[in-house]
Amino acid sequence: MQIQLQHARQKDNEASLLWPRERLTPGEGVRVVHYDPQGAKIVLTAPRGEMSAYSGDPFAAFIAVFPEKVIPRPLLRPEWFAPRDNEDGTATFMPYGIRKIEALLLNAGIPREDIACCHPDNLERFVGPKTRIVGITSMDPMGLAYVSVTYSSMIAVPGETADAREFRRVMENPVFQKYEPTIIVGGAGAWQIRHAGMVEKWGIDVLMHGEGELTVVDLFRRALAGETLDREVHGSKVPIEFIPTIRNGASYGVVEITRGCGRGCQFCSPTNRRRHSLPLDHIMKEVATNVAAGSNEVFCATEDLFLYECGSRFEPNPAALEKLFTTIGRHPGVDYVHLSHIAIAPVVYDPTAVERISPILLEKTRYTPAFRPHYKEPFVTALFGIESGSIRIMKKYMRGKIWPYPIEQYHEVNVQGLGILNDNHWRPMATLITGWPDETPDDTVQTLELLDKMKGFNVFFVPLMFIPLEDTKLRNERRVSLELMTPEQWDVFATAWRMNIDNWAPHQQPLFTFAALFAYYAYFRWKHGKKVFAPIMKIAKFPNFNGMPPKFPLKADGGIDPRYCREDEGAIRRAEPARTLPVLQEMQAVPPVLGPR
Ligand code: B12
Ligand code: SF4
């Protein structure tokens, strides 16, 4: 008898009330599999927060990295987390990384009936006495990545992030104790579990770090054979021919277009991966798989889309990019195309790349006035890393960030690149990191200076605190804490958010003003002290800000030069010449800063 007919619904009654279930009729390519009611041999899953496609809005996914206590479940829209099940109870969409694991196992000859990829709410249905392995993936299992740490500590409400809470729910599912399968956890955030000391406590048998392609099949075979396994496994760099195409739908319709980066930033983990451009037919096979599963969107996962078929000096390849996006965009059933990351230097290096792909991306963007009425016109978005405005910090930790441009031109390249993007209807998001190891107030002021030069541009800043991710070169550095943040570092946050409100939600300023004042007087001054007064007033756009007691700029640790005041219109004018950055031909004479890997 089919497993979905026989097994009781999940035991978490509270959850089933709050998270309604959506059952999909299998699309083309999704066949009903008859699983053993005693349990599938291999079960693959992920926490709820990472299973969801948040109604097709990748921005919305970030809500799950805030503390669970400040986003009570009813506020998180229940439909976001509704399991989307196939007829046989397996998940219609899963995170892309675990789909790769599924593909590797299927390609290795493990029968389809032995592998169930399911929503965590369905674990009771697939884990049984015959289950040998449960594989779990997560990007941020303990809430220790950038956004989670930064904003959880700022909000200062104790407790786990919503994502971490959901990961715990998976790990503490009683079926694991009952049937004792081998638990293997992987994904970009696997390191966090070791860091939090939870590997043994949760009975994790294997923690897998890094890429899975060369390691997973052997690991799973040995686990199936009951062999003794190493507690921690590190995947090696993967040559392109070992990367399989996914066999079933990925959340958001994720498709990898490139892997790895090669610019070598010391705080970054994807740069550990060997750099590849996936062949177009490989990419389109995955697009077709996602569409067949019922996705109308494609999310291009990449560290920098301009790496796709780029030259040896990171020169973008406009023709290849145009062909890629035209082919994806024209695929029947693809209504939306999302992008994950870009780098800014290639935008400046050859603006025709952006010019050629923008029309097709605009046609396929989700971000239109129809999607959100306050968007005035359609725009394309992707994330890029500004990280710091300090040339010293960039030179020390991210020397190759704008190669082949010399890092000394960091401000100019960023400002010019942003201008080109805006001219082509891109409104990118940009991360800014403050609290770098040995960052001085002078360095932070340079970041403020760069922000100043970006005033008036359409960009959404994501200011973050430096976190030493364990799988990076800077893993042994200290993490910055709020108590140690300097006034300048607080000002980076305040200025970035001030600019975000002005750019993205000026109509909601009264709401921000009220929320900021309320938060300060009711909570933050007790939690963080008076040092947050000035930053919060900046976000509140409190009309009397300049007349407030001079809490900030403080002259304490290094002080801040009043020239860097955000209201300085002259700074914007001074930024103008940056748009005349020397063109490509002149730049090519510059000796290489860092060679591609
Ligand atoms: C696409 C993407 C997203 C999409 C997610 C879409 C989805 N649900 O699938 C969106 C935009 C929503 C997103 C959100 C976030 N993301 Co994200 N994301 C990516 C991105 C660009 C690609 C991920 C991907 O598919 N890679 C390709 C696949 C093949 O790689 P993989 O997933 O790592 O899988 C391989 C291995 O890890 C391993 N593996 C994976 N799972 C398993 C399971 C088992 C059992 C085993 C054995 C092995 C294994 O094998 C796979 C094949 O080699 C990466 C950057 C990157 N290059 O990975 C960041 C990245 C994974 N994201 C990251 C983070 C932190 C987040 C957030 C948590 C934000 C935050 N707090 O700071 C949020 C989470 C919000 C949420 N609730 O989902 C970080 C993780 C950092 C870290 N090292 O801890 C990354 C690396 C970005 C970065 N540079 O910082 N993300
Ligand atoms: S440019 Fe981005 S992806 Fe590449 S190494 Fe630097 S931070 Fe990592």
The per-residue pLDDT for range 326-356, each reduced to its tens digit, is 999 999 999 999 999 999 999 999 999 999 9
CA atoms within 13 A on the CB side of 88: 20
Mean pLDDT of the region 430-444: 94
The residue contributing the CA closest to ligand 2 atom 8 is 268
Alpha helices in 84-132 (DSSP H): 96-107, 123-126
Q: Which ligand is nearest to the CA of 210?
A: 1
* pLDDT higher than threshold 60 for residue 478: yes
252 lines ligand 1 (CB under 6 A): yes
Query: Does residue 594 register a pLDDT over 60?
Result: no
The larger pLDDT score, comparing residue 394 to residue 580, is at 394
321 Cα to the center of ligand 2, angstroms: 20
Q: 183 CA distance to ligand 2 centroid (A)?
A: 31
Residue-level pLDDT at 168: 96
Distance CA 115, CA 124 (A): 15
pLDDT, mean of residues 536-556:
51
Average pLDDT of every residue of the chain: 83
CA 6, 9, 11, 14: dihedral to nearest 10 degrees?
-170
Query: CB of 212 closer than 6 A to ligand 1?
Result: yes
Confidence of residue 496 (pLDDT cuts 50, 70, 90): very high
Nearest residue CA, atom 86 of ligand 1? Answer: 188
- 79 and 20 in contact (C-beta within 8 Å)? yes
DSSP string, 174-194: HHHHHH-PEEEEESTTHHHHH
pLDDT at 201 over 80: yes
**pLDDT tens-digit profile of 160-185?**
888 899 999 999 999 999 999 999 99
Q: How far apart are CA 244 and CA 229, in angstroms?
A: 25
The per-residue pLDDT for 596 is 33
Among 146, 256, 261, which residue has the most ligand 2 atoms within 8 Å of its CB, making it the best to mutate?
261
pTM: 0.86
- The pLDDT, as a whole number, for residue 145 is 86
Distance CA 309, CA 277 (A): 6
The domains found in the chain, sorted by start residue, are 3-241 (no CATH), 251-486 (3.80.30.20)
Read off the amino acid at residue 198. M
Query: Which residues make beta-bridge pairs with 119?
Result: none
What gap in Å lies between CA 544 and CA 542, rounded to an integer? 5
The first and second tokens of residue 66, run together, are 């805030």
CB 444 within 8 A of CB 486: yes
Q: What is the pLDDT of residues 57-101, one digit of tens each?
A: 888 888 888 877 777 655 566 677 778 889 999 999 999 999 999
SS3 content of the chain, % helix, strand, coil (to 5): 45, 10, 45
Ligand 2 atom showing the smallest separation from residue 387 Cα: 7
Residue 303, ligand 2, Cβ within 6 A:
yes
Q: What is the pLDDT of residue 575?
A: 40
Q: Can you give the pLDDT at residue 18?
A: 35
Summarize pLDDT for 106-122 with one digit per residue, the tens. 999 999 999 999 999 99
Structural contact between residues 532 and 490, judged by C-beta atoms closer than 8 angstroms:
yes
Q: Ligand 1 atom closest to Cα of 146?
A: 72
Q: How far apart are CA 579 and CA 581, in angstroms?
A: 5
H-type alpha helices, 331-453: 345-349, 351-363, 391-397, 410-423, 441-453
Residue 305 CB partners (closer than 8 Å, separation 6+)? 257, 258, 321, 339, 340, 341, 342, 382
